[in-house]
Amino acid sequence: MSEAALHVGSGKVRELYALDDNRLLLLASDRISTFDVVLPTEIPDKGRVLTGLSGFWFARTSDLVPNHLLTLREDGRSTECTRLEMLPIECVVRGYLAGSGWKDYRATGQVCGHPLPAGLVESQQLPRPIFTPATKAETGHDENIDRAAAVELVGEERFDEVEATALALYSFVSDYAQERGLILADTKLEFGIDGQDRLVLGDEAFTPDSSRFWPAGEYRPGGTPPSFDKQFVRDYCESLGWDKTAPGPELPEHVVTGTRARYVEAFERLTGIGFDEYLADPVVVLR
Protein backbone atom coordinates (compact mmCIF):
# COMPACT_ATOMS: atom_id res chain seq x y z
CA MET A 1 0.00 0.00 0.00
CA SER A 2 1.22 3.51 -0.71
CA GLU A 3 2.87 5.31 2.20
CA ALA A 4 0.47 8.18 1.74
CA ALA A 5 -2.70 6.11 2.24
CA LEU A 6 -4.57 7.47 5.22
CA HIS A 7 -6.81 5.21 7.28
CA VAL A 8 -10.23 6.87 7.17
CA GLY A 9 -12.60 4.23 8.42
CA SER A 10 -13.26 0.76 9.61
CA GLY A 11 -16.46 -1.17 8.99
CA LYS A 12 -17.35 -4.55 10.40
CA VAL A 13 -15.56 -6.21 7.49
CA ARG A 14 -13.62 -3.56 5.54
CA GLU A 15 -10.82 -1.09 6.25
CA LEU A 16 -10.98 2.14 4.27
CA TYR A 17 -7.97 4.22 3.27
CA ALA A 18 -7.89 7.49 1.34
CA LEU A 19 -5.49 7.33 -1.63
CA ASP A 20 -6.25 10.96 -2.54
CA ASP A 21 -9.29 13.26 -2.56
CA ASN A 22 -11.12 11.17 -5.15
CA ARG A 23 -10.01 7.60 -4.52
CA LEU A 24 -10.35 5.11 -1.66
CA LEU A 25 -8.60 1.82 -1.02
CA LEU A 26 -11.11 -0.74 0.28
CA LEU A 27 -9.51 -3.70 2.00
CA ALA A 28 -11.78 -6.64 2.77
CA SER A 29 -10.63 -8.50 5.88
CA ASP A 30 -11.50 -12.09 6.82
CA ARG A 31 -13.71 -10.89 9.67
CA ILE A 32 -17.21 -12.32 9.91
CA SER A 33 -20.16 -10.82 11.73
CA THR A 34 -23.40 -12.46 12.77
CA PHE A 35 -26.35 -10.58 14.19
CA ASP A 36 -24.22 -7.43 13.64
CA VAL A 37 -21.50 -8.61 16.04
CA VAL A 38 -17.99 -9.23 14.67
CA LEU A 39 -16.79 -12.64 15.88
CA PRO A 40 -13.30 -13.13 17.33
CA THR A 41 -12.47 -15.87 14.79
CA GLU A 42 -11.67 -15.11 11.14
CA ILE A 43 -12.59 -17.16 8.05
CA PRO A 44 -9.44 -17.52 5.91
CA ASP A 45 -9.81 -16.01 2.40
CA LYS A 46 -13.33 -14.71 3.03
CA GLY A 47 -12.25 -11.15 2.13
CA ARG A 48 -10.84 -12.46 -1.16
CA VAL A 49 -14.10 -14.22 -2.01
CA LEU A 50 -16.07 -11.01 -1.39
CA THR A 51 -13.64 -8.86 -3.36
CA GLY A 52 -13.45 -11.28 -6.30
CA LEU A 53 -17.20 -11.76 -6.55
CA SER A 54 -17.88 -8.02 -6.33
CA GLY A 55 -15.33 -7.40 -9.08
CA PHE A 56 -16.95 -10.09 -11.21
CA TRP A 57 -20.37 -8.41 -10.95
CA PHE A 58 -19.04 -4.87 -11.35
CA ALA A 59 -17.42 -5.95 -14.64
CA ARG A 60 -20.68 -7.50 -15.88
CA THR A 61 -23.16 -4.80 -14.84
CA SER A 62 -21.29 -1.63 -15.80
CA ASP A 63 -23.70 -1.04 -18.70
CA LEU A 64 -26.62 -1.01 -16.23
CA VAL A 65 -25.02 1.44 -13.80
CA PRO A 66 -21.50 2.85 -13.33
CA ASN A 67 -19.64 1.41 -10.30
CA HIS A 68 -16.84 2.53 -8.03
CA LEU A 69 -14.24 -0.08 -9.02
CA LEU A 70 -11.03 1.34 -10.49
CA THR A 71 -8.39 -1.34 -9.83
CA LEU A 72 -8.38 -4.79 -8.30
CA ARG A 73 -5.03 -5.31 -6.58
CA GLU A 74 -2.85 -8.44 -6.70
CA ASP A 75 -3.59 -9.49 -3.12
CA GLY A 76 -7.16 -10.25 -4.25
CA ARG A 77 -8.65 -8.41 -1.28
CA SER A 78 -8.04 -4.72 -1.94
CA THR A 79 -9.63 -2.50 -4.54
CA GLU A 80 -9.01 1.08 -5.53
CA CYS A 81 -12.38 2.80 -5.82
CA THR A 82 -13.93 6.11 -6.67
CA ARG A 83 -14.72 7.89 -3.43
CA LEU A 84 -18.49 8.46 -3.22
CA GLU A 85 -20.92 10.35 -1.07
CA MET A 86 -22.89 7.29 0.04
CA LEU A 87 -26.69 7.53 0.10
CA PRO A 88 -28.07 7.14 3.63
CA ILE A 89 -30.17 4.07 2.71
CA GLU A 90 -29.46 0.38 2.24
CA CYS A 91 -30.95 -0.62 -1.11
CA VAL A 92 -32.51 -4.04 -0.66
CA VAL A 93 -34.28 -5.98 -3.41
CA ARG A 94 -36.31 -9.07 -2.54
CA GLY A 95 -37.54 -11.68 -4.97
CA TYR A 96 -38.47 -14.13 -2.20
CA LEU A 97 -39.83 -13.78 1.34
CA ALA A 98 -36.95 -14.32 3.76
CA GLY A 99 -35.28 -12.71 6.76
CA SER A 100 -36.74 -9.40 7.89
CA GLY A 101 -39.03 -9.37 4.83
CA TRP A 102 -40.72 -12.54 6.04
CA LYS A 103 -40.85 -11.19 9.60
CA ASP A 104 -42.54 -7.94 8.47
CA TYR A 105 -44.96 -9.77 6.17
CA ARG A 106 -46.01 -12.11 8.97
CA ALA A 107 -46.64 -9.15 11.28
CA THR A 108 -48.30 -6.73 8.82
CA GLY A 109 -49.00 -8.45 5.49
CA GLN A 110 -46.65 -5.93 3.86
CA VAL A 111 -42.96 -5.28 3.38
CA CYS A 112 -41.83 -1.63 3.36
CA GLY A 113 -45.33 -0.52 2.36
CA HIS A 114 -45.62 -3.00 -0.56
CA PRO A 115 -48.97 -4.74 -0.16
CA LEU A 116 -48.56 -8.46 -0.91
CA PRO A 117 -51.04 -11.28 -1.54
CA ALA A 118 -52.35 -13.00 1.60
CA GLY A 119 -51.25 -16.52 2.49
CA LEU A 120 -47.64 -16.42 1.32
CA VAL A 121 -45.34 -18.84 3.15
CA GLU A 122 -41.74 -18.39 4.27
CA SER A 123 -39.22 -18.32 1.36
CA GLN A 124 -42.00 -18.08 -1.23
CA GLN A 125 -41.27 -16.28 -4.47
CA LEU A 126 -42.97 -12.87 -4.68
CA PRO A 127 -45.25 -12.01 -7.63
CA ARG A 128 -42.44 -9.67 -8.71
CA PRO A 129 -39.22 -8.44 -7.07
CA ILE A 130 -39.71 -5.47 -4.74
CA PHE A 131 -37.42 -2.66 -3.60
CA THR A 132 -37.38 -2.58 0.22
CA PRO A 133 -34.97 0.09 1.49
CA ALA A 134 -33.66 0.21 5.04
CA THR A 135 -32.01 2.85 7.18
CA LYS A 136 -28.25 2.64 7.64
CA ALA A 137 -28.01 2.27 11.38
CA GLU A 138 -24.69 3.58 12.74
CA THR A 139 -25.01 1.08 15.55
CA GLY A 140 -27.44 -1.79 15.92
CA HIS A 141 -29.75 -3.17 13.26
CA ASP A 142 -30.99 -1.58 10.06
CA GLU A 143 -34.69 -0.81 9.97
CA ASN A 144 -36.96 -1.37 6.97
CA ILE A 145 -38.63 1.83 5.74
CA ASP A 146 -41.34 2.63 3.21
CA ARG A 147 -41.13 4.79 0.11
CA ALA A 148 -42.13 8.00 1.90
CA ALA A 149 -39.44 7.61 4.56
CA ALA A 150 -36.77 6.83 1.95
CA VAL A 151 -37.84 9.79 -0.22
CA GLU A 152 -37.40 11.93 2.86
CA LEU A 153 -33.77 10.78 3.05
CA VAL A 154 -32.68 10.91 -0.62
CA GLY A 155 -35.31 12.92 -2.51
CA GLU A 156 -37.97 11.64 -4.88
CA GLU A 157 -36.00 11.75 -8.12
CA ARG A 158 -33.01 9.93 -6.65
CA PHE A 159 -35.30 7.39 -5.01
CA ASP A 160 -36.94 6.51 -8.33
CA GLU A 161 -33.54 6.22 -10.01
CA VAL A 162 -32.17 4.00 -7.24
CA GLU A 163 -35.25 1.78 -7.20
CA ALA A 164 -35.20 1.23 -10.98
CA THR A 165 -31.43 0.59 -10.99
CA ALA A 166 -31.51 -1.81 -8.04
CA LEU A 167 -34.37 -3.80 -9.63
CA ALA A 168 -32.50 -3.99 -12.95
CA LEU A 169 -29.35 -5.23 -11.20
CA TYR A 170 -31.30 -7.81 -9.22
CA SER A 171 -32.97 -9.08 -12.36
CA PHE A 172 -29.66 -9.41 -14.23
CA VAL A 173 -27.83 -11.24 -11.44
CA SER A 174 -30.79 -13.40 -10.50
CA ASP A 175 -31.06 -14.65 -14.13
CA TYR A 176 -27.31 -15.25 -14.18
CA ALA A 177 -27.42 -17.19 -10.90
CA GLN A 178 -30.46 -19.19 -12.00
CA GLU A 179 -28.48 -20.51 -14.97
CA ARG A 180 -25.90 -21.75 -12.47
CA GLY A 181 -28.47 -23.47 -10.29
CA LEU A 182 -28.71 -20.77 -7.64
CA ILE A 183 -31.63 -18.63 -6.54
CA LEU A 184 -30.89 -15.03 -5.56
CA ALA A 185 -33.50 -14.64 -2.82
CA ASP A 186 -32.58 -11.07 -1.88
CA THR A 187 -29.68 -8.65 -1.93
CA LYS A 188 -28.46 -5.43 -0.37
CA LEU A 189 -26.79 -2.78 -2.52
CA GLU A 190 -25.16 0.52 -1.59
CA PHE A 191 -25.11 3.45 -3.96
CA GLY A 192 -23.33 6.78 -3.78
CA ILE A 193 -23.01 10.00 -5.74
CA ASP A 194 -19.77 10.88 -7.53
CA GLY A 195 -18.24 14.30 -8.25
CA GLN A 196 -20.46 14.69 -11.34
CA ASP A 197 -23.64 14.04 -9.37
CA ARG A 198 -24.00 10.61 -11.01
CA LEU A 199 -25.50 7.62 -9.24
CA VAL A 200 -22.73 5.01 -8.80
CA LEU A 201 -22.85 1.48 -7.35
CA GLY A 202 -20.38 1.19 -4.46
CA ASP A 203 -19.39 -1.11 -1.61
CA GLU A 204 -19.66 -4.86 -2.33
CA ALA A 205 -22.15 -6.43 -4.72
CA PHE A 206 -23.90 -9.80 -4.88
CA THR A 207 -21.67 -11.61 -2.38
CA PRO A 208 -22.72 -14.18 0.24
CA ASP A 209 -22.40 -11.37 2.85
CA SER A 210 -24.79 -9.03 1.05
CA SER A 211 -27.14 -11.55 -0.56
CA ARG A 212 -29.06 -14.76 0.09
CA PHE A 213 -28.21 -17.41 -2.47
CA TRP A 214 -30.08 -20.72 -2.32
CA PRO A 215 -29.24 -23.89 -4.26
CA ALA A 216 -32.23 -24.15 -6.64
CA GLY A 217 -32.39 -27.95 -6.32
CA GLU A 218 -33.05 -27.78 -2.59
CA TYR A 219 -35.55 -24.94 -2.71
CA ARG A 220 -38.96 -25.65 -1.15
CA PRO A 221 -41.32 -22.81 -0.15
CA GLY A 222 -42.51 -23.08 3.45
CA GLY A 223 -39.15 -23.42 5.21
CA THR A 224 -35.65 -22.01 5.33
CA PRO A 225 -33.63 -23.33 2.38
CA PRO A 226 -29.94 -24.04 3.02
CA SER A 227 -28.02 -21.05 1.78
CA PHE A 228 -24.54 -19.82 1.05
CA ASP A 229 -24.94 -16.90 3.39
CA LYS A 230 -23.97 -16.89 7.02
CA GLN A 231 -26.71 -19.27 8.12
CA PHE A 232 -24.17 -21.99 8.96
CA VAL A 233 -22.32 -19.71 11.40
CA ARG A 234 -25.56 -18.24 12.73
CA ASP A 235 -26.91 -21.71 13.47
CA TYR A 236 -23.74 -22.62 15.34
CA CYS A 237 -23.85 -19.40 17.40
CA GLU A 238 -27.53 -19.90 18.22
CA SER A 239 -26.89 -23.52 19.28
CA LEU A 240 -24.65 -22.11 22.05
CA GLY A 241 -27.50 -20.04 23.48
CA TRP A 242 -25.41 -16.87 22.90
CA ASP A 243 -27.41 -13.69 23.66
CA LYS A 244 -26.27 -11.99 20.39
CA THR A 245 -24.47 -9.16 22.15
CA ALA A 246 -20.69 -8.55 21.99
CA PRO A 247 -18.40 -10.33 22.50
CA GLY A 248 -19.37 -13.10 20.11
CA PRO A 249 -18.22 -16.71 20.53
CA GLU A 250 -15.00 -18.20 19.13
CA LEU A 251 -15.67 -20.57 16.23
CA PRO A 252 -14.34 -24.14 16.38
CA GLU A 253 -12.21 -25.47 13.53
CA HIS A 254 -15.01 -27.39 11.79
CA VAL A 255 -17.23 -24.31 11.65
CA VAL A 256 -14.34 -22.25 10.22
CA THR A 257 -13.59 -24.89 7.57
CA GLY A 258 -17.26 -25.39 6.72
CA THR A 259 -17.86 -21.66 6.40
CA ARG A 260 -14.79 -21.13 4.24
CA ALA A 261 -15.91 -23.98 1.97
CA ARG A 262 -19.34 -22.36 1.54
CA TYR A 263 -17.90 -18.98 0.60
CA VAL A 264 -15.50 -20.58 -1.89
CA GLU A 265 -18.30 -22.70 -3.36
CA ALA A 266 -20.47 -19.62 -3.87
CA PHE A 267 -17.57 -17.94 -5.66
CA GLU A 268 -16.91 -20.90 -7.95
CA ARG A 269 -20.52 -21.65 -8.79
CA LEU A 270 -21.39 -18.06 -9.61
CA THR A 271 -18.26 -17.11 -11.54
CA GLY A 272 -17.40 -20.48 -13.10
CA ILE A 273 -13.80 -19.62 -12.14
CA GLY A 274 -11.68 -21.81 -9.84
CA PHE A 275 -10.80 -20.05 -6.60
CA ASP A 276 -7.13 -21.08 -7.00
CA GLU A 277 -7.16 -19.42 -10.39
CA TYR A 278 -8.43 -16.24 -8.77
CA LEU A 279 -5.72 -16.35 -6.09
CA ALA A 280 -3.05 -16.74 -8.79
CA ASP A 281 -4.36 -13.82 -10.86
CA PRO A 282 -7.29 -11.85 -9.38
CA VAL A 283 -8.03 -9.78 -12.51
CA VAL A 284 -9.34 -12.99 -14.12
CA VAL A 285 -12.77 -12.05 -12.67
CA LEU A 286 -12.85 -8.81 -14.65
CA ARG A 287 -12.51 -10.45 -18.08
Dihedral sign for Cα 131, 227, 266, 49, please: positive
Q: Which of 84, 183, 205, 264 binds ligand ATP (CB under 6 A)?
A: 84
Our finding on whether 13 is near ligand ATP (CB under 6 A) is yes
Instruction: Using CB positions, name the residue nearest to ligand ATP.
Output: 11
Q: Which of 45, 52, 56, 68 binds ligand ATP (CB under 6 A)?
A: 68
Q: How far is the CB of 280 from ligand ATP (least distance, A)?
A: 26
The CA-to-CA distance between both ends of the chain, in Å, stands at 24
Our finding on whether 48 is near ligand ATP (CB under 6 A) is no
Cα separation, 183 vs 215, whole angstroms: 6
Residues of 239-271 as b/e, b for ≥16 C-beta within 10 angstroms? Answer: eeeeeeeeebbebeeebbeebbebbbbbbbebb
DSSP label of 67? B
Whether 275 contacts 44, CB under 8 Å: no
Listed residue (86, 92, 81) closest to 191, CA to CA:
86
Nearer to ligand ATP, 84 or 251 (CB): 84
Q: How far is the CB of 145 from ligand ATP (least distance, A)?
A: 16
Q: How far is the CB of 10 from ligand ATP (least distance, A)?
A: 7
DSSP 3-state assignment of 240?
coil
Q: Which of 46, 48, 77, 83 binds ligand ATP (CB under 6 A)?
A: 83
Our finding on whether 47 is near ligand ATP (CB under 6 A) is no
Our finding on whether 18 is near ligand ATP (CB under 6 A) is no
Nearer to ligand ATP, 84 or 255 (CB): 84
Our finding on whether 86 is near ligand ATP (CB under 6 A) is yes
Tell me, residue by residue from 121 to 160, as one string, x for binding to ligand ATP by CB under 6 A and - for no binding: ----------------------------------------
76-84, 124-132, 215-223, 245-253 -> range binding ligand ATP (CB under 6 A):
76-84
Nearer to ligand ATP, 110 or 194 (CB): 194
83-91, 143-151, 240-248, 251-259 -> range binding ligand ATP (CB under 6 A):
83-91
Q: Which residues pair with 110 in a beta bridge?
A: 115
Our finding on whether 202 is near ligand ATP (CB under 6 A) is yes
Our finding on whether 167 is near ligand ATP (CB under 6 A) is no
- Which residues are near ligand ATP by CB under 6 A? 11-14, 16, 24, 68, 81-84, 86, 190, 192, 202-203
